[in-house]
């Protein structure tokens, strides 16, 4: 039951976290990363005060802090990718990469699935194939829509999305290696995210000011939603292992697809693109359920 609750929280939060600030015109993506990191740190401080400071030592602190620095770079790359490619295509590139990288790290570092029997391995491959197929259907249901960017911009977006996929499939590994409680480790992780993001923003020498209260609230909402999803993901990793836990967390794409069809009408309901999106949601959910049931 706790695993199901963690999965639901993560999928709902990570399925909606990009939406509030998607249409804000930032001077650069480092500034967006900074505000998301600041809101996430604020959430972590509140949680940590209620949880208490017991168990936080330097040995526990530095590995999650390192994971936070990795996230700061990957967050910047992800926002760059969404700016160049659009949220849907960028999300659709980094999500399958996240899945594959997290499964590989789970096997290489933590020995997950290495002692599994032939049937489990077959089911693992099948569930990953079903999940990734579903994600790709969701993303490319509308096609590429006549993008007019130059090749340089498209390549920058593609490489940024791939980089975000690799690093976002990696940032939680130092946290798991620390062997600390996820509630404790999330605080130094957030400090690392903020430190890395603030450094990236400072290097641009651009003012951090936004246009109004609405924009501050919207980008803070993005940071808070990501932070909530992150707590759920860390608990999933603790309960199910690095590979399965992080992979299931990527089902936020299903929520993103459903919100697009039924709330944003993009694609329009009953259209061919909407049908492909819903089929993709079904396949991704099936793959995630199958993956979560593996022992």
Mean pLDDT by 10 residues, the chain (295 residues): 78 87 88 96 92 78 95 94 78 79 83 76 85 80 57 86 91 86 89 97 92 94 94 85 76 76 72 82 79 66
pTM: 0.82
Q: Whole domain around residue 75: which residue ranges?
A: 2-293
Find out whether 267 and 142 touch, Cβ atoms under 8 Å: yes
* pLDDT given at position 72: 96
- For the chain, the domain total comes to 1
Q: What is the DSSP letter of 116?
A: -
Q: Which long-range contacts (CB under 8 A, 24 or more apart) does 115-120 make?
A: 116/294, 120/294, 120/295
Dist. CA 236–CA 230, nearest whole Å: 10
């Amino acid at each position: 039951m706790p695993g199901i609750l963690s999965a639901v929280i993560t999928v709902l939060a990570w399925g909606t976290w990009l939406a509030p600030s998607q249409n804000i015109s930032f001077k650069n993506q480092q500034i967006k990363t900074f505000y998301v990191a600041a809101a996430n740190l604020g959430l972590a401080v509140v949680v940590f005060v209620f949880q208490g400071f017991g168990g936080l030592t330097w040995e526990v602190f530095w590995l999650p802090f390192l994971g936070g620095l990795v996230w700061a770079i990957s967050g910047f790359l992800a926002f760059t990718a969404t700016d160049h490619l659009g949220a849907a295509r960028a999300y659709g590139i980094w999500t399958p990469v996240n899945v594959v990288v997290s499964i590989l790290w789970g096997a290489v570092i933590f020995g997950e699935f290495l002692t599994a029997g032939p049937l489990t391995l077959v089911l693992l491959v099948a569930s990953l194939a079903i999940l990734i197929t579903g994600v790709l259907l969701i993303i490319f249901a509308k096609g590429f829509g006549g993008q007019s960017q130059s090749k340089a911009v498209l390549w920058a977006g593609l490489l940024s999305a791939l980089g975000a996929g690799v690093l976002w499939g990696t940032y939680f590994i130092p946290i798991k290696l620390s062997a600390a409680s996820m509630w404790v480790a999330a605080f130094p992780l957030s400090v690392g995210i903020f430190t890395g993001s603030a450094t990236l923003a400072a290097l641009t020498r651009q003012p951090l000011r936004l246009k109004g209260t609405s924009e501050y609230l919207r980008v803070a909402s993005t940071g808070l939603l990501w932070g909530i999803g992150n707590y759920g993901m860390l608990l999933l990793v603790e309960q199910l292992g690095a590979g399965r836990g992080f992979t299931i967390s990527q089902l936020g794409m299903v929520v993103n697809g459903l919100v697009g069809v039924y709330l944003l009408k993009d694609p329009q309901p009953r259209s061919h693109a909407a049908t492909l999106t819903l089929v993709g949601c079904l396949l991704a959910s099936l793959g995630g359920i199958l993956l979560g049931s593996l022992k």
